[in-house]
Amino acid sequence: MAPRSELFRPLVAQDPTNPLFRFSLGQELLKEDAAAEAREHLRFAAESKTDWMMPRILLGKAHLALGDRTAARSAFEDALRLAVSQGHEEPEEELRALLAGL
């Protein structure tokens, strides 16, 4: 069975400016332990919408997987601000725990 990221590669190739396609590809790549490649797509998705929390959480996790704790902290702090302002309690708890562990 092919990795799930392969489902999204053709979509990204067809429309590389679509933030949802890039987010989905980045999310699957992160699950597949391809954090370096995931980071590129998750960064694009995060930069596409200032109020989109999930790409920032996953971007932080990609940074963390690559050993960049400073960048991870920045992404998690951005995501935490959004979680609080948007009333997302579970992501807020997760982000506070991730930040405490840095």
SS3 state of residue 50: coil
Q: Which residues contact 82 (CB under 8 A, 6 or more apart)?
A: 51, 52, 53, 56, 88
The closest alpha carbon to 39, from 16, 23, 18, 15, belongs to 23
Under 8 Å between Cβ of 26 and 46: no
Domain boundaries, the chain: 5-100
* pTM of the model as a whole: 0.95
Q: Pick left, alpha or beta for residue 89 (phi over 0 → left; psi -120 to 50 → alpha; otherwise beta).
A: alpha
| Architecture in CATH of 5-100 | Alpha Horseshoe (1.25)
Q: What is the pLDDT of residues 7-43, one digit of tens each?
A: 999 999 999 999 999 999 999 999 999 999 999 999 9
Q: What is the pLDDT of residues 72-88, one digit of tens each?
A: 999 999 999 999 999 99
